[in-house]
Amino acid sequence: MKSQDIRNTFLDFFEKKEHLIVPSAPMVVKNDPTLMFVNSGMAPFKEYFLGNSEPKKNRISDTQKCLRVSGKHNDLEEVGYDTYHHTLFEMLGNWSFGDYFKKEAIAWAWELLTEVYGIDKDLLYVTVFEGSDDADNLKMDTEAYDIWKQYIAEDRILKGNKKDNFWEMGDQGPCGPCSEIHVDIRSAEEKAKVDGKTLVNMDHPQVVEIWNLVFMQYNRKANGSLEVLPNKHIDTGMGFERLCMVLQGVQSNYDTDVFTPIIREIETITNSSYGKDEKVDVAIRVISDHVRAVAFSIADGQLPSNTGAGYVIRRILRRAIRYGFTFLNQKEPFIYKLTETLSNQMGDAFPELKSQERLIENVIKEEENSFLRTLDQGLLLLDKVIDDSKDKTIDGAKAFELYDTYGFPLDLTQLIAREKGYSVNEEGFKTEMQKQKDRSRAASASETSDWVILKEDDTEEFIGYDTLTADVKLTRYRKVTSKKDGEHYQLVFNMTPFYPEGGGQVGDKGYIEVPNGDVVYITDTKKENNVIIHITKNLPSDLDDTFKAMVSDEHRRLSASNHTATHLLHQALRTILGTHVEQKGSLVKPASLRFDFSHFSKVDADQLQEIEDFVNARIRENLELEEYRNIPMQQALDKGAIALFGEKYGDSVRAIKFGQSMELCGGTHVQNTGDIWYFKIKSESAIAAGIRRIEAITNVAVGDYFEDVEKQFESIKSVLKNSNEPVKAVQALQDENANLKKQIEALLKDKAKNLKGELKNEISEVNGVQFLAKKVDLDGAGIKDLCFDLGSNMDNLFLLFGSETNGKAILSCYISKELVAAKDLNAGNIVRELGKHIQGGGGGQPFFATAGGKNPAGIDAALDSAKSYIE
């Protein structure tokens, strides 16, 4: 069965079991500080499990893009070395939110695997949770055991410990026992030798877990205790690539049709072959895996960068580049060439790969180029480290610097060192690594207490599109202590006018007023797993009061102005530069706006002017806001609304329209484009290959800007003695300056000519050599000219000149070529020795050399000893 059919069969099966099929959520997580990337199928549904919002249906199924390269799940270092762990993989899943539980989950998993996919029962093992005698004191999951018994022989049901059979989302939150399904795809011969049972969960490449059924029945609280959940849930995850391996009868995920087209392409491009040499195979697996992770991230809007999620992506790509560099001998960019194959192969299931193929290709190519340069520098540094090493070992701290700054992992440094007969101090490396981990843990450490629930009013209503003030009641709060923000509280209200950070727009600020007139300031508003959280230093005195919530009017008004201007800018770019322009990021705050977009060349000054004029024309048209709240996604798209890749949209969306501009958007906007006043572009730049950034201002900021410009202009005029024509005045100054320069050059030439004449007379014969050692008043270049000038007129010349400029000493030595040979003299050696007098050093060629030093007082001594060289 082809992988495409395997995926569809899964989804069809659960659709028939009344599940709603939903598309994969974007891989990069935006609304959850505890998670950078989706790392399991359940992550996009966290808000349902936490009870923060209601799913559209209580049975859902999908295939979810997952990335396991950071945090709790990090498989990165395994990838390439084994045959069944990837960075990016698809997790097929089915979910019950308070609906069916263990009985159905197990029955359907079994039916799908054995009857629909036709996997032989004798290949399968299952595990159940054995219980724990630690603080949780949990009993064995006999419920699951008894259900499994109906389908599979009891000697194939294995009991597992907490590590393998108790699943937790994080330190806090829903959790529960799980049952894994494993397959044994070894040959009959192997099976006869070793019983499959003993290999389950033992990291055997042919006895692997394919599916995990999690039975969520507890909630883990901040103090570590467990409480039983009122509603029980099912969360299952099956590795798509591993399932393909089983169904296609191969022994490695990389031999399935998910990977073979990319591997063939790598073989062609790099002129290598897969399956002959383990080192080459590892490299090919690494590259075929990593290119997928990187391409999917870029398609989701996450570009490689120096921080956060972008940095993780950069490191994945660099890992691939390194393996290509070291084991496939690729010194030029080549990974970008795989983009097309990938998009042809996966583009049907993930259309974002197709539509952004060119961008993905460009970004990868540029990253490859710049990292290959870094690699070169790193190799030079490594050479130097090796040269400097006295005991044939490389210091752990140096190896760590190579790792941290140049992306050289320890194994690469070791490999290169070994080739030269050196070893690396591994302990030292590990110590440095640990130090860095401790530093970053300390920097991000935070402590979050459980929510204190005041009212069971879970659905918090956002009313901030219509009003900036409201009477609100606190429904829950918690205390958070973090290194970054110190100790603070997070408040949740029954309703709120505060806009939470999102869609590029910063969160609202403001205050809540308690009945006695005191105020508590809200310093920021955020959304976390679909709950709006208000950040404050202090709790209100009486938590049960009704508070008056007030959003800062100015903060909101200016943010709205910049947000609407951002939409108009987007429209202008697509109109003037073309519809290939796609939003790649935006930041909307009261003071300014920033907009990143795909475009392949610099936007020139004329185009920028045109863009600015376009936006200002829309502002002057006084276009009214047309807002469509809660309309079906498809209806919005049919009306021409623009949606962004990498955004997680609900089933019903909000669309914002001003004239011809229409976007899906949750942000806040002005009522009329006239409220923006004026739009001014401040800068245009590149932030990555194929991605440009425009920074701009609107509203009062434009007034401030022009005021500044005017002030500067006035001060320029006053420097120019209040000339009424400052441009002419500056031009006159420039002309005058150019004239003066010419005159100075002519004077200097004259001076050198005179000097030459004088010096010629001072040259005396010593031991048959025309000799002169003297201090002169010329710079380095002037002395050089002088030496060669004298040298072209006289033979057997030995000259040593000293000079002083800006407190620094220079010694220059010239020796006629015939003297160099006849008397075995070397100007380079001479200046190096004499350089000691001026506390400096230098060198050059045997007939001309220069030394610089910081002690002009030593010049005379140096000149005095010159004669000794020819005596």
Binding site residue list: 563, 567, 665, 669
Nearest-approach distance from CB 450 to ligand ATP, in angstroms:
26
Max CA pair span of the chain: 115
8 A C-beta contact, residue 21 and residue 62 = yes
Degrees to nearest 5, angle at CA 462 with 637 and 700: 80
The candidate with the shortest Cα–Cα distance to 664, out of 629, 622, 619, 693, is 629
Rg (CA), the chain: 36
Nearer to ligand ATP, 201 or 525 (CB): 201
Nearest-approach distance from CB 107 to ligand ATP, in angstroms:
19
- At residue 323, what are phi and psi to the nearest 5 degrees? -65, -40
Nearest-approach distance from CB 274 to ligand ATP, in angstroms:
19
> Closest residue to ligand ATP, Cβ-based?
239
* Residue written as token pair 């003993």: 198
Nearer to ligand ATP, 246 or 495 (CB): 246
8 A C-beta contact, residue 236 and residue 95 = yes
CA distance 656 to 392: 67
8 A C-beta contact, residue 210 and residue 229 = no
Nearest-approach distance from CB 161 to ligand ATP, in angstroms:
13
Nearer to ligand ATP, 86 or 156 (CB): 86
Nearer to ligand ATP, 238 or 468 (CB): 238
For residue 497, which amino acid is it?
Answer: P
For residue 690, which amino acid is it?
Answer: G
Complete DSSP assignment for 769-825: EEEEEEE-S--HHHHHHHHHHHHHH-SSEEEEEEEEETTEEEEEEEE-HHHHHHHT-
Nearer to ligand ATP, 40 or 61 (CB): 40
Neighbours of 852 (CB within 10 A): 18
Neighbours of 483 (CB within 10 A): 11
CA distance to 458, 592, 676, 695, per residue, from 705 (Å) = 45, 11, 15, 13
* Residue written as token pair 């007969």: 421
Nearer to ligand ATP, 269 or 282 (CB): 282
**Residues contributing to the annotated binding site for Zn(2+):** 563, 567, 665, 669
* Residue written as token pair 């100075």: 744
How many residues appear in the chain?
A: 871
Nearest-approach distance from CB 93 to ligand ATP, in angstroms:
9
Residues whose CB is less than 8 angstroms from the CB of residue 58 and which lie 6 or more positions away in sequence, other chains included: 96, 97, 98, 99
The candidate with the shortest Cα–Cα distance to 869, out of 827, 812, 841, is 827
Nearer to ligand ATP, 40 or 583 (CB): 40
Nearest-approach distance from CB 232 to ligand ATP, in angstroms:
19
Nearest-approach distance from CB 528 to ligand ATP, in angstroms:
23
Nearest-approach distance from CB 19 to ligand ATP, in angstroms:
18
Nearer to ligand ATP, 29 or 474 (CB): 29
Nearest-approach distance from CB 88 to ligand ATP, in angstroms:
8
Q: Which two tokens stand for residue 503?
A: 């869609």
Nearest-approach distance from CB 73 to ligand ATP, in angstroms:
6
Nearer to ligand ATP, 75 or 501 (CB): 75
SS3 for 709? helix
CA distance 511 to 526: 15
8 A C-beta contact, residue 421 and residue 431 = no
* C-alpha 754 chain-centroid distance: 64
Binding residues for ligand ATP (CB under 6 A): 40, 68, 75, 85-86, 89, 91, 209-212, 237-239, 241-242
Nearer to ligand ATP, 40 or 356 (CB): 40
Nearer to ligand ATP, 209 or 508 (CB): 209
Nearer to ligand ATP, 178 or 470 (CB): 178
Q: Which two tokens stand for residue 328?
A: 């496939």
8 A C-beta contact, residue 144 and residue 127 = no
Degrees to nearest 5, angle at CA 493 with 488 and 496: 105
Buried b (16+ CB within 10 A) or exposed e, 175-202: bbbbbbbbbbbbeeeebeeeebeebbbe
Angle between helices 357-388 and 396-406 (to 10 degrees): 160
CA distance 227 to 175: 10
The candidate with the shortest Cα–Cα distance to 94, out of 241, 210, 238, 239, is 238
Nearer to ligand ATP, 69 or 827 (CB): 69
Nearest-approach distance from CB 11 to ligand ATP, in angstroms:
17
Residue 771: exposed, middle, or buried by beta-carbon count in 10 A (0-12, 13-18, 19+)? buried
Nearest-approach distance from CB 31 to ligand ATP, in angstroms:
22
CA distance 658 to 475: 37
Nearest-approach distance from CB 394 to ligand ATP, in angstroms:
32
CA distance 647 to 191: 48
Nearer to ligand ATP, 69 or 696 (CB): 69
Nearest-approach distance from CB 474 to ligand ATP, in angstroms:
37
Nearer to ligand ATP, 317 or 670 (CB): 317
8 A C-beta contact, residue 228 and residue 217 = yes
Nearest-approach distance from CB 240 to ligand ATP, in angstroms:
8
* Alpha helices by DSSP H, 601-668: 605-620, 633-638
CA distance to 9, 144, 613, 643, per residue, from 647 (Å) = 27, 38, 30, 8
CA distance 868 to 239: 83
